[in-house]
Amino acid sequence: MAAPIDLHEVTEREREERFRTRWRVKACASTACQSAGAGQTIKAIEDAVEAEDMMLEVQVIPTGCMGLCSAGPLVRVLRRGGDKAMYQKVTPETGIKILKSHVLDEETLPEHEIDTEIPFFSSQERVVLANGGVINPDRIESYVAHGGYLALEKALKTMKPKHVLEEIRTSGLRGRGGAGYPTASKWSLLAAAPGETKYIVANGDEGDPGAYMDRTIMEDDPHRLLEGIALAAYATGANQAYIYVRAEYPRAIERLDRAIRVARRNRLLGRKILDTKFDLSVEVRIGAGAFVCGEETALLASIEGRRGIPRLRPPYPTEKGLWGEPTMINNVETLANIAPIINNGGEWFASLGTPKSTGTKVFALAGDITHTGLIEVPMGTKLRDIVEDIGGGVPDGKGFKAAQTGGPSGGCIPAKFLDTPVDYDSLRELGSIMGSGGLIIMNEEVRMPDVAKYFMEFSMDESCGKCTPCRAGTVQMHNLLQRITDGDGTKQDIRDLEHLCSVVRDASLCGLGQAAPNPVMSTLQYFRSEYSALLREEVAHG
């Protein structure tokens, strides 16, 4: 058995490497920038570095997401011990230009530069995404150099499992998958569960339309997730973990697989981790594209190789989960918060956000908004600050109409509630949910019944078909919404729609069905006149 990694030595080596060259060019290589052409840009810059014989002067580092995805590909240029600049929409030609002008002639290119003092960057609070745009996700050394695995080392060597759990309890961390269940309570259930065999599952089956928080964590900071899993396993007494990733995330799967191999080689996973008595095996399990597999009991069925459908609870997974053994399912973003909490203490984490919703939350900002991308803000940030400052407002001089949170399980929040703090409880009061972090902004031209129909179609397509209200009720709700948006609806149709909302919400088996009416209910609550305006004129006898 090889010796475990020496975190401090690696950090030292990395520091030397960092200062080896005068210039570092960090190019975002995450999925959003890739789809904007980052691959070619990075290659062009690397080729130019070689052609200009600048290898001793410049190192080109592919990194994870820098956040402002709408401006990709993004490139940062950093001078040793000095200034830095960020460039947007960097084509291969622009990349070469930046290299020649900024690096060779030391003249920045203002026409391509982004001001990193704008609120999009300055108003964020990056905990989970701290390494985004900083580290090279493919190199464990890069993660280690930024404090990686120090929390695991600290926990294994200086803390008892119950102290780790206590720290999480102090932090007030709540599940980032949507429902906001206190993480420490879940952990204690698993820790208290009898038996030798316990499982931990990281839920990376992110399925909300437009949401990619978990994908980014898995792709851009895989070791942070592994470290979180290891800490959770240590605190709860589990020795086997699975990361459930949807098949639509091939890069995440590849990166995680590699990260697991490398971590094992460095004795950060596997047997006798860091020469302690703690063993943990982690494996990736791939979903098959069903939204409902984000529901924990369906997810477990899928991991076991069965049809991915929910089952009745109780028993809860922490009593009877994978193959009948106690199992705990945590969302990927939840687990990504663990290492920082152990490093900085639960009290530090609790000081972020609000007393009941501590820490930060990552959102995928999308829709009719100037800056779309991935943002991280303290819990309790006002919706207005996210939309107007960080997001830069609604473009083209149009007015803001609504923000949709929580995807197909969430609701639409109208302009009059823009000053609501974004936290679990405030959003719930408004008839929406935090959800996993999808945040879609809609301008004044959007017809809200169309939005409701869109999400209902999603829920209808993704219903597993097990329980009647969700299987058949979503179909009928979609049918009614279709008729209403076609201008053929009647007042009776709206009454039937509202009644079905209650039936499906109250009588469905799992969270997918129970939450499916939310987009309809919230739009009926706040934008009812838009529905009424679409109704056809009813003839007297009709």
Cα angle 31-207-513, degrees, rounded to a multiple of 5: 170
Secondary structure string (H, E, C) spanning 318-349? CCCCHHHCCEEEEEHHHHHCHHHHHHHCHHHH
Cβ 539 to another protein shortest distance, Å: 9
Cβ 176 to another protein shortest distance, Å: 24
Cβ 319 to another protein shortest distance, Å: 13
Question: Does the protein bind another protein through residue 209 (CB under 8 A)?
Answer: no
Question: Does the protein bind another protein through residue 157 (CB under 8 A)?
Answer: no
- Residue number with CB closer to another protein (351 or 468): 468
Question: Does the protein bind another protein through residue 21 (CB under 8 A)?
Answer: no
Question: Does the protein bind another protein through residue 428 (CB under 8 A)?
Answer: no
CB contact at 8 A, 322 and 305: no
Question: Does the protein bind another protein through residue 466 (CB under 8 A)?
Answer: yes
* Token code pair at residue 519: 């987009």
CB contact at 8 A, 484 and 534: yes
Other CB atoms within a 10 A radius of the CB of residue 490 amount to 16
Cβ 248 to another protein shortest distance, Å: 17
> For another protein, how many residues bind (rule: CB under 8 A)?
34
User: How far is 334 from 175, CA to CA, in rounded Å?
Assistant: 6
- Residue number with CB closer to another protein (492 or 532): 492
What character string, x for contact with another protein (CB under 8 A) and - otherwise, covers 231-270?
----------------------------------------
Question: Does the protein bind another protein through residue 475 (CB under 8 A)?
Answer: yes
Question: Does the protein bind another protein through residue 473 (CB under 8 A)?
Answer: yes
- Selected range binding another protein among 55-63, 119-127, 402-410, 501-509, rule: CB under 8 A: 501-509
Question: Does the protein bind another protein through residue 30 (CB under 8 A)?
Answer: no
User: How far is 97 from 91, CA to CA, in rounded Å?
Assistant: 10
Question: Does the protein bind another protein through residue 535 (CB under 8 A)?
Answer: no
538 DSSP assignment:
P
User: How far is 405 from 438, CA to CA, in rounded Å?
Assistant: 6
- Selected range binding another protein among 31-39, 271-279, 344-352, 495-503, rule: CB under 8 A: 495-503
Residues in CB range of 286: below 8 A, 6 or more apart: 244, 245, 246, 247, 253
Q: Out of 88, 343, 344, 468, point to the residue binding another protein (CB under 8 A).
A: 468
User: How far is 352 from 342, CA to CA, in rounded Å?
Assistant: 15
Cβ 97 to another protein shortest distance, Å: 51
Angle between helices 222-236 and 150-158 (to 10 degrees): 20
Residue 52: which region, alpha, beta or left (left: phi > 0; alpha: psi -120 to 50)? alpha
Residues that bind another protein (CB under 8 A): 290, 292, 307, 309, 311-312, 460-469, 471-476, 479, 496, 499-500, 502-503, 506-509, 541-542
